[in-house]
Amino acid sequence: MCFECRILGALANGVPASDAAEGRESLVKPELEGLGDLDFAPSVAEVEDKELRDEDAETYLKDTLTALRDNFGVELVPVKVDSDGSCLPHAISRCLVGKEVLYDALRLALTHELREHAAFYREILGAGMDEETFATFWLGIIDEAKPVHGALTGRWLGPEHILGLANVLRRPILLLDCPKLMAQDDNRCGLYLPLRHGREACVRAEGLGEVASPLVIGWANEAKNHFVSLVAPSHNRLLASEEEEWTSRARTAAPSLWLKIDQLVEELRSKSSSEHVEITIPHDKGPGDVCVLQDPDSGEEILVQIPPGKGPGDSFLWNPNVDHGATRLYGSLVHFYATNPPMSRARAGRTLHLVLKNLVDALMVDPDKLEQRSRLRLGNKMIFRNIVCVSGAVEVLRAVGFADFVEPRSGDKFLRFEGDLSREEVRESLVLARDALAFILEDKSAVRGAGEISLAAGASVLGPVPAFCLRDEAGEPVRAWDAYAAYTFGHDPARGAGSGAWVFGLGNQLRISRSRMVTSLMGALKDRYRDLAAGTAFADMPWDDAFLYGERLKHVECPACDREQQWEGPIDGVGAELRSQACSFCGHELEVGLTAQRQMSAFVHGRLAPAEP
Instruction: Place 434 in a pLDDT band, splitting at 50, 70 and 90.
Output: very high
Q: What is the DSSP string of 67-99?
A: HHHHHH----EEE----SS-HHHHHHHHHHHSS
Q: What is the DSSP string of 99-144?
A: SSTTHHHHHHHHHHHHHHTHHHHHHHH-TT--HHHHHHHHHHHHHH
Helices 255-271, 243-253: inter-axial angle, 10-degree rounding: 110
Q: Count CA atoms within 13 Å of residue 67 on its CB side.
A: 17
Distances from the Cα of 45 to the Cα of 41, 49, 235, 511, angstroms: 11, 7, 10, 19
Cβ neighbours for 51, distance < 8 A, ≥ 6 positions apart: 80, 548
pLDDT one-digit tens code per residue, 535-564: 887 787 666 544 444 444 456 678 788 887
The dihedral of CA 465, 467, 470, 474: what is its sign?
Answer: positive
User: Which range among 83-92, 210-219, 383-392, 508-517 shows the weakest confidence by mean pLDDT?
Assistant: 508-517
- 3-state SS assignment for residue 525: helix
Distance CA 257, CA 235 (A): 22
pTM higher than 0.85: no
- 3-state SS assignment for residue 287: coil
User: Which range among 6-10, 135-139, 433-437, 481-485 shows the weakest confidence by mean pLDDT?
Assistant: 481-485
- 3-state SS assignment for residue 494: helix
- 3-state SS assignment for residue 452: coil
Mean pLDDT of 179-189: 81
Mean pLDDT of 362-383: 84
Mean pLDDT of 504-524: 78
Instruction: Place 594 in a pLDDT band, splitting at 50, 70 and 90.
Output: very low
Distance CA 360, CA 344 (A): 24
pLDDT one-digit tens code per residue, 129-165: 899 999 999 999 999 999 888 877 888 999 999 999 9
CB-based burial, 399-426: b 16+ in 10 Å, e otherwise? bbbbeebeeeeeeeebbbbebebebebb
- Please list the residues that pair with 290 across neighbouring strands: 305
On the 0-12 / 13-18 / 19+ scale of CB atoms within 10 A, 116 is exposed
Pairing of strands 413-417, 375-377: antiparallel
pLDDT at 533: 85
Residue 367 has pLDDT above 70, yes or no: yes
Distance CA 407, CA 526 (A): 35
Cβ neighbours for 523, distance < 8 A, ≥ 6 positions apart: none
pLDDT at 237: 54
Cβ neighbours for 313, distance < 8 A, ≥ 6 positions apart: 280, 281, 283
- 3-state SS assignment for residue 270: helix
Q: 166 phi and psi, to 5 degrees?
A: -60, -40
Distance CA 379, CA 568 (A): 54
Residue with the larger pLDDT of the pair 268 and 85: 85
pLDDT averaged over every residue in the chain: 77
Mean pLDDT of 178-187: 81
* Ranges 6-20, 49-63, 131-145, 257-271, most confident: 131-145
Mean pLDDT of 497-502: 54
The dihedral of CA 262, 291, 252, 331: what is its sign?
Answer: negative
Which amino acid, one-letter code, is at 134? F
Residue 1 has pLDDT above 80, yes or no: no
Instruction: Place 199 in a pLDDT band, splitting at 50, 70 and 90.
Output: low
Q: 235 phi and psi, to 5 degrees?
A: -115, 30
Residue 14 has pLDDT above 80, yes or no: no
Domains of the chain: 32-235+451-513 (3.90.70.80), 240-442 (1.20.58.2190)
Helices 103-116, 87-97: inter-axial angle, 10-degree rounding: 110
